[in-house]
Amino acid sequence: MFTSFMKPVVVRSWALLLCCLCLGAISSCTPLDENSSGLRLWLADLPNPLDRDRPRPLARVMEYAKAGQAKTVYVEGEVLQLSPLLNGMAYEIQDPTGRIWIQTHRQDVSLGETVHVQGLLHRQDVSVGGQDFGEAYLEELRQVETD
């Protein structure tokens, strides 16, 4: 039926078809509209050594928190508020996508300063009358040096 020179072409065609079917199955299970976090969020979490310290948008960090993912993230933003604590301080940062509080042991944070930090994401759940008033925050692990 097939001549010997056509066999590699047929095998490559079947491999290409199989890859397309797998990608189609993955994307059909994951909606890709503006409000979804599915496949785009999964692809954004793939390790890339070139952007290891690249800050994530705060809106994405909040999605991680809502999903219950305690993970290490990099964030960057302008310091809006400071709040003293018994064993350090907390400060709120803002980027174009949102805001988040960061708990730290440092005392050298200033209002209006732009910070780039690595932090461990936490979520504090508070339910009152069946409503969730939980809030996400970061525990600062280190300040990232910027060029």
Same domain, 113 and 46: yes
Same domain, 5 and 61: no
- Closest residue by Cα to residue 69 from 120, 33, 132, 131: 120
Same domain, 6 and 48: no
The three-state secondary structure class of 40 is: helix
Which pLDDT value is given to residue 33? 44
Same domain, 62 and 99: yes
Q: What is the pLDDT of residues 49-73, one digit of tens each?
A: 445 668 888 988 888 888 877 788 9
For residues 39 and 30, give the distance between their C-alpha atoms in angstroms, rounded to a whole number: 6
Same domain, 52 and 102: yes
Question: 15 pLDDT exceeds 70?
Answer: no
Structural domain total, the chain:
2
Confidence band for 136, pLDDT divided at 50, 70 and 90: confident
Same domain, 4 and 62: no
Query: Residue range 135-143: average pLDDT?
Result: 90
Same domain, 11 and 69: no
Q: Which domain holds residue 100?
A: 38-143
Q: Provide the mean pLDDT of the chain.
A: 75
